Structure 1
Amino acid sequence: MRLTRFKTVRGRLLALLIAIALPIAGLTAVAAVTTYRTVIAAIELSQARAADDFAVRTRVWYRGALRTLLASGALIASGQPSKADCDASSRLLLDQVRGFRALRLVMSDGRVCSTSLDSGVAAGDMAAISAKLKELPSTRIWADNELAQARYDHVALGERSYLAIHARNIGGAMPQEALLLVNTELLDQVFDLGDDSEGMNVALLARGGRVVASRGEDPDISWLPAQERVPESKLRWEAPSRVGGERAYAARMVADPDFYVITSFDDAPVRAARLQFLVLLLAPLLTLTLLCLVYLRAIDSHCVRWLRGIEAAARARSTGKTARAVVAEEMPSDIRSVAEAFNTMVDEQEVRQRRLQTALDDNRFLVRELHHRVKNSLQVVQSYIGLTKRDYRSEARWALADAECRVHVLSAAYRFTLADGEMQPVRVDLFIDDVVTMISNLIRRRDQWISGRIETGASLSVDRIIPLGFMVVDVASRVLRSTPGVSITIIVSDIDASTIEIALEADRDIAHSQPPKLFAGLLAQIEAVQAGGAEGRRLGSWRVRHRA
């Protein structure tokens, strides 16, 4: 596919992506996931069927053993033999059938026939076992009918354990009750795992986790689940084994309510399925990766190379260098259009920037000169008021001194804000200290005193520092004019990182006068909030926010 047929970047990228990436990725994912799910489902089904198979084998064995017990009991009881003959017939049966270890029959007339091949199994033991099993509920039937009321159980006598098959209420010519004890090794044939049994274990368990018989690679049955789960009918789950590690388990009830078969499987089939899944997924994806490399190469050749040129020109502009984006005939039309528009924009921006810089320089010069003129004019006005003040006495002299002090506030504000040739915020501590000095020099009497306790590093713009100075002068001037011999302290301190408090205090209680209407305008200009009113020695306090 020739990507140059597509005139836009979007067309080239979408064409290559649709033609290569999407079909391969979609088909690969669908095929791999479908295969993996199918294999996992087959593994789980085979594990469940294995448990079913062993359960059916066990049921068939139990039914066969029950048939043998019933048939033998009927044969022995048919001739109404004496106890000696009954014992002899029972021993003959036990000798003939491998694995049958003990037999007990209770005839309809009450006679008991009890025989055992093991010395550890006495007649009294068999009677106790028979009485115990007779009290337990019968095993639930497996089909529509059952040969007799039977109970399948597991008993231990001494160091040996037996499978117990107990039948009662048989009826007819048969004994009223029969008990057969069978060696558990007979179940080894039932639980034959065959040749294809790697990783599989099986056991017949009684409720409570008692192991009746087991076969598998792990003879110490550590493969059993750490927590017992008795199936109501059938069950498959995954859980940690007794020695740790996840295993798969399948269980099937054999003889309700106690006996069930449990099978265990390692994760080898699942690992094989995962490996197959990875192969099915990665093999096409590796091909897709190779195609993606070609795709990235094409993107770099037909798109990224030109975009990087525009980016490099833009970044060079940020460092103050003059740069233009490269424009070539082989570029895609839309990228070439962007590069041409970028170069046009750069040309126009440079022209505007030169004009703006020239205008800015002129404005800075004019502003600087204007502020110098204002500062010089204020100094002239202050000097003129100071000279005029000499020709007056009493209230007129006090009014001129007050006016001179206020003009000095303006002059000091402009002096501080233009200290470095450019307008900048004014430090509150330096400004207030200068205002305190000017008040002390201009409007206090000989028996009065004014001082400052300034503990802040905050700064305010010139349009806020000027009304702040006017406010301080206004409050101090009214008190100094009305109270002879008074001492005033101006306190400036930080409340928090962005707030300062300005407070004025006298050394005695004074009679407070109503501030002029202009005072409210000053507070609005400063954006100050009154923290405390004028009362007693306190002349007032205000809080002002600033930029930390």
Structure 2
Amino acid sequence: MRGRLLALLIAIELPIGCVTVLTAATAYRTIMGDIEASQVQTTDDFAVRMRVWYRGALRSLLSFGATVSEAALPPELCGQAGLKMLDRARGFSAVLVRSADGRLCSAALDPGIDAQVLERTAASMRASPPVAPWKGVDLGAARYGQASIGDRRYLAVHAQNPAATGQDMQEALLLVAPAVLESVLDLGRGSKGMDIALVAPDGGIVANRGDTPPEAWLPRESRPPAELDRWHAADREGTERTYAARTIAEPGFYVIATFNDPHERDALIQLAVFLLAPLATLSLLCLVYLRAIDRHCVRWLRSIETAARSRSSSKRARAAMADDMPSDIRSVAEAFNAMVDEQEVRQRRLQTALDDNRFLVRELHHRVKNSLQVVQSYIGLSKRDYQDEARTALADAECRVHVLSAAYRFTLADGEMQPVRVDLFLEDVVSMIANLIRRRDQWISSRIETAATLSVDRIIPLGFLVADVASRVLRSTPGARITLSVVDLDEATIEVALEADREVAHQEPPRLFAGLLAQIEAVQSGPAEGRSLGRWRVRHHG
């Protein structure tokens, strides 16, 4: 019963558990997808801001270069114009403009930066490949990077027009303080756990914002992103991190960000709660139901089962009754106890009837045995009045009556009907044959080596068989000596044999003889010939 109820609960819980798992997994994938999309979008936003800033700086450089080239100002006036431009555009530190006709215009707010330094910086920028143009207006060959001058670091914007002629601007360089770009990388609110950096084509860090130094959180294996990319990798300290990157300009000029977003952990915890809470609730309900079933049903059913099984050893076993039993099970227990009471009443009546029957049967057999003894005594007394053949016939009749009387005496020896031992019974039969039938010159003896028993219905015809064979030989053969032998052939078979001390004239047995063999369930194992009077095998069970 409990197994079926458990199977039913499992059948109910399994679909619910599957739906719960599917719902939790779907919600987790949706949340993680939103988090991933938000991270990529954040990186893309910073990349767009960088592109706008660099494009703005490049436009400013191109505008200033075109202005001073067209004005054809001398170096002194051009330098003063450059200083005014740098002073008004906060964060711009130095500028260099070269015309196609060789005129050079330079200005710098930092006294440590002169025209020669700007020339070397421009030359190093020319050595790097130009960035691929972005969508929109092509502003010519441009390069972005950084320059270290003395102990200070600057952002470098370089523009070049190899096809310029005359007074047209051929090359321009703008140096910007890094603080300006770092203000563009302002993370704003919700920046906890996020670090971002702008990486130059040479792998150097142009600008970065965040709580962790870029030397610690950048990926161990640096690689330019494929336009817009997101991946998981180990940082330079071996910690697994999530990275997102967006290309600003080819080749290798990109924004990279890392996220240690607590929302991912929250999503994982939410998945565990969504997944485990319903399953734990269902499991708890299953345990509660099983406990309730065991306490209110199975326990009482087991008590009824125990009482039923105890009936074989304890006749007074009853099903337990209690006030807290469920009404249905209490009704079953009451019906069981009523059935047991009725069964005991019937058993007592049957036992009384059986005892009465046994007494009657025992008395009947006693009466039969006493009657046979009376008949035997009457035949014995009548035999005295006759001689020769009549006397011999009466002796045969007395012997057969004695067989019946002896069989009942042995089977009722302990007051109850029981199997008769073959050895004791045949010894008694042989003794009676010797007393009643044999003459003075004749003898009959026995050699019985068995402890087998037969029922009274089979032992009587066996006695008749022995008496019939011995009687016919003793009447026809003067001086004959007969030996009766009984031996065990195996645990369930005995062999009965009669043998004379001389050859005798064998006669055809009467028709009654075949009936005796059928009652004994005997099989003849040896014919009556020569000295052998016959051999028979008899099966028994004890």
TM-score after normalising by structure 2: 0.53
Is 2:11 the counterpart of 1:18? yes
Query: Structure 1 residues 269, 309: CA separation in 2 closer, same or farther (over 3 Å shift)?
Result: farther
Instruction: State the alpha-carbon separation in 1 of the partners of residues 220 and 300 from structure 2.
Output: 63
Given that residues 304 and 319 in structure 2 are in contact (C-alpha distance below 8 angstroms), is that contact kept between their aligned partners in structure 1? no
Q: Name which one, 1 or 2, has greater alpha-carbon Rg.
A: 2
Tell me what 2:19 maps to: 27
- Pick the aligned partner of 2:286 from 285, 292, 304: 292
Residue of structure 2 in register with 1:125 after alignment: 117
Equivalent residues, number? 318
Q: Does structure 1 residue 52 correspond to structure 2 residue 44?
A: yes
Mapped to 1, the partners of 2:305 and 2:168 lie a distance apart of 105
Residue 29 of structure 1 contacts residue 281 of structure 1 at CA under 8 Å; is this kept in 2? Answer: yes
Could you tell me whether the CA contact under 8 Å between 1:204 and 1:214 is conserved in 2?
Answer: yes
Aligned-CA RMSD value: 3.4
Q: Which of 271, 278, 303 matches 2:272?
A: 278
Percent identity, please.
44
- CA 309–252 in structure 1, closer or farther in 2 if over 3 Å, else same: farther
Q: Which residue of 1 aligns with 2:171?
A: 177
The one-letter code of the counterpart of 1:67 is R
Amino acid in structure 1 at the alignment position of 2:223: R
- Taking the aligned partners of 1:137 and 1:241, their CA distance within structure 2 comes to 29
What residue number does 1:203 align with? 197
Give 1:145 shift: 4.1
1:263: which partner in 2? 257
Change (3 A) 1:253 1:259: same
Taking a change above 3 Å as real, the CA distance of residues 289 and 99 of structure 1, as seen in their structure-2 partners, is same
Shift of 1:179: 0.8
- Which residue of structure 1 lines up, in the alignment, with residue 240 of structure 2? 246
State how far apart, in whole Å, the 1-side matches of 2:17 and 2:49 are.
48
- Following superposition, the deviation at residue 148 of structure 1 comes to 1.5
- SS of corresponding position for 2:242: strand
Per the alignment, residue 225 of structure 1 pairs with: 219
The Cα of 1:159 is off from its aligned counterpart by: 1.2
- Deviation sequence 1:231-279 (CA, Å, 0-9, x none): 1312211222233432211111112113110111114111111122122
* 2:210 alignment counterpart: 216
**Secondary structure of 1:222's partner?**
helix
Aligned amino acid, residue 142 of structure 1: W
1:100 shift after superposition: 1.0
What is the one-letter code of the residue matched to 2:106? S
| Alpha carbons of structure 1 residues 243 and 309: separation in structure 2 relative to 1, 3 Å | farther
Structure 1 residues 436-447: aligned runs within 5 Å = none
Equivalent in the alignment of 1:138: 130
Name the CA distance, whole Å, in 1 between partners of 2:303 and 2:50: 76
For 2:299 and 2:264, how far apart are their aligned partners in 1?
45
The alpha-carbon distance between structure 1 residues 66 and 309, as it changes in their structure 2 partners (threshold 3 A), is farther
Do the aligned partners of 2:197 and 2:214 also contact (CA within 8 Å) in 1?
Answer: no
The secondary structure found in structure 2 opposite 1:297 is helix
Matches within 5 A, 1:152-171: 152-169=144-161, 171=164
Paired AA for residue 223 in structure 1: W
When the two structures are superposed, what TM-score results if normalisation uses the length of structure 1?
A: 0.53
Deviates more, 1:30-39 or 1:297-306: 297-306
How far residue 36 of structure 1 moved from its aligned partner, in angstroms, is 0.9
Aligned counterparts of 1:203 and 1:147: Cα–Cα separation in 2: 25
Q: CA, structure 1 residues 310+130, in 2 after alignment: closer, same or farther (shift >3 Å)? A: farther
Task: Say if 1:247 and 1:267, in contact at 8 Å, map to a contact too.
Answer: no
Q: Tell me how far 1:66 sits from its aligned partner.
A: 0.4
Q: Does 1:109 align with 2:101?
A: yes
**Alpha-carbon deviations, 1:457-498, whole Å to 9, x = none?**
xxxxxxxxxxxxxxxxxxxxxxxxxxxxxxxxxxxxxxxxxx
Equivalent residue of 1:141, what SS? coil
Corresponding residue for residue 97 of structure 1: 89
SS in 2 for 1:15: helix
For the Cα contact (< 8 Å) 2:20–2:274, is it kept in 1? yes
Equivalent residue, structure 1, for 2:483: none
Mapped to 2, the partners of 1:246 and 1:227 lie a distance apart of: 12
Whether 1:234 aligns to 2:231 is: no
Provide the C-alpha distance between the structure 2 equivalents of 1:300 and 1:209, rounded to a whole number of angstroms: 72
- Residue by residue over 1:74-111, the C-alpha shift from the partner in whole angstroms, topping out at 9 and shown as x without a partner, is 11112111111111111211111111111111112111
| SS of residue matched to 1:57 | helix
User: Are the equivalent residues in 2 in contact too, given 1:70–1:174 (CA < 8 A)?
Assistant: no
How many angstroms does 1:38 deviate by?
0.8
Query: Is the CA contact (8 Å cut-off) linking 2:246 and 2:254 kept in structure 1?
Result: yes
The amino acid across from 2:36 in the alignment is E
Deviations, residues 219-238 of structure 1 (Å, cap 9, x unaligned): 46522223323213122112
1:38 corresponds to: 30
**1:66 is aligned to 2:53:** no
Contact residue 254 and residue 261 of structure 1 kept, 8 A:
yes
Cα distance, 1:232–1:295 mapped onto 2, change above 3 Å: same
The amino acid that maps onto 1:88 is Q
How far apart are the structure 2 equivalents of 1:206 and 1:77?
30
Shift of 1:15: 3.0
CA distance in 1, matches of 2:319, 2:231: 67
Question: Aligned partners of 1:294 and 1:74: how far apart in 2?
Answer: 86
Alpha-carbon distance between aligned partners in 1 of 2:246 and 2:21, rounded to the nearest angstrom: 36
Equivalent residues in 2 for 1:445-524, closer than 5 Å: none
The SS at the match of 1:176 is strand
Give, as a single letter, the amino acid of the residue that structure 1 aligns with 2:282.
Answer: L
Residue 194 to residue 137, structure 1, CA distance change in 2 (3 Å): same
CA distance in 1, matches of 2:88, 2:303: 95
Secondary structure, counterpart of 1:262 in structure 2: strand
* Structure 2 portions without partners, runs of 5+: 321-327, 333-542
The verdict on how the C-alpha distance between 1:207 and 1:11 changes in structure 2, with shifts beyond 3 A counting, is: same
Q: State the distance in 2 between where 1:62 and 1:236 align.
A: 24
Q: Distance in 2 between matches of 1:238 and 1:48?
A: 13
**Secondary structure of 1:260's partner?**
strand
Structure 1: distance between partners of 2:73 and 2:31: 62
Distance 1:167 1:307 in 2: 96
3-state SS of the aligned residue for 2:196?
strand
Over 3 Å counting, the alpha-carbon distance change for 1:270 and 1:310 in structure 2 is farther
| Structure 1 residues 307 and 153: alpha-carbon distance in aligned structure 2, compared to 1, 3 A threshold | farther
Q: What amino acid is aligned across from residue 58 of structure 1 in structure 2?
A: M
